[in-house]
Amino acid sequence: MSFAVDVAQEKDIITPEFKKAGSKIVWLRTQIDEYDIPVYDKVMEQYGRFTRDIRDGKIISAYALERHGIVAAVSKMAFGNRMGVKIEHNIDERDLFAPAFGDLIAEVPAEKVGELSITYTVIGEVTSDAALSYKDMSIAIKDAEAAWKEPLSQVFPTNSGASGQEEKIDKELYQTKDVHICTHKIAQPTVFIPVFPGTNCEYDSAKAFERAGAKTIIKVFKNMNAADIIDSVHVFEQAIDQSQIIMFPGGFSAGDEPDGSAKFFATAFQNAKMKEAVERLLNERDGLVLGICNGFQTLVKLGLVPGGAITGQNEDSPTLTYNTIGRHISKMVYTKVVTNKSPWLQKAELGGVYTNPASHGEGRFVASGEWIDKLFANGQVATQYCDPQGNISMDEEWNVNGSYCAIEGITSPDGRVLGKMAHSERRARSVAVNIYGEQDLKIFESGVDYFK
């Protein structure tokens, strides 16, 4: 694997996907000598001008050409937002697939083309018709994308072929004024974030709560020997007693072994002292509990969702199991808020669509029909997977793990315990800037405001 690293101001970073119909597509050609070697001084001069044009807002997306030339570059730029491309008739078809190392393709707003400082050739424009067009030929973007993915589809499939992906999910939003009110007010709540070997989201989780105005306590559960475990139980008990919120973060605790994800997490919290500390937080201090990804798996195994107490699981309990694709999934997902019952969702829009990263191998929510009906009826289904337009979907393109009824997150009966798979904590300035749609579910702000 070969890669390069450079440093730049975040405000100057652009992404490669085409942004809007009507933009012009320009080609910066690298000057080469008689040996096909780039003329260094000329290349650096053009790259310097290209950088200035980006900073001045004249170039809004760009792509470096490779051995497959213009067609490969503009196709990949079009795939991101399913935009169309129309190549000018006067472009020599021999140039479309010719290697062009060092050359750049850029998207430029039509009104700014004449302001470019680079030497360029206009080769086409971005369209809204989701097709690649040149002379009398037109290829639909969806067909081009399918052809691009096909060579590796048998090696690395993106769809399991499981049945039921066309199933329609038609559930009404759950709206209520009966939201649990905290009777133990505090100006600045404290959040305890337990860390086990394999946890990897504790820093993101702490930053998210601190941005929302909370204090955080992070403690590592040590397990090198019996004395470490005894000490950790004592430390965790003290931390819980000092806190108003417990946040179970994501990761792969104990490498998701033995016997599946979050087993180590859940086993530790069934210790009598830690269990009693959690019960005091929930029952005596009106506390809250949040679990994301591996943390959601922990809540399910403990019984905190959907039950609201540490009871463990029985044979008919809802659970999280392996994704239908049979492997780890890592991609952005869209989720729809379908209840307003939980204190964690008070700042989210009921019916609103939010996009966050998902990264898990065991995120498929499974439950009996009786349990699912009960969860919906009680407003305990917090969020469901959907497409960008908010349509609840069983299609693996959107419901990435094949969860029953596209359920992404659930709560305890009173809403004070929330578990979800997508990483709402993994958002910050300049993170996922090329992903469109609202990314901030405001669950951390909602959790903090609950105590005010």
Catalytic residues: 293, 423, 425
Element (H, E) at 42: helix 40-55
- As a whole number of angstroms, the distance between CA 248 and CA 243 comes to 13
Query: Which spans in 108-261 are helix H?
Result: 141-153, 202-211, 226-241
* CB distance 413 to 380 below 8 Å: yes
- As a whole number of angstroms, the distance between CA 235 and CA 189 comes to 19
Residue 110 in 3-state DSSP?
helix
Q: Which two tokens stand for residue 148?
A: 């691009």
* CB distance 74 to 132 below 8 Å: yes
- As a whole number of angstroms, the distance between CA 406 and CA 289 comes to 23
Query: Count of alpha carbons within 13 Å of 397, Cβ hemisphere only?
Result: 7
Distances (CA, A) of 245 to 3, 288, 305, 449: 42, 5, 15, 12
- Which residue from 236, 226, 73 is spatially nearest to 144, judged by alpha carbons? 73
Residue 304 in 3-state DSSP?
helix
- As a whole number of angstroms, the distance between CA 74 and CA 91 comes to 14
- As a whole number of angstroms, the distance between CA 32 and CA 82 comes to 34
The angle at the Cα of 439, spanning 409 to 352, to the nearest 5 degrees, equals 60
* CB distance 69 to 93 below 8 Å: no
Cis peptide before 258, with omega less than 30 degrees from 0? yes
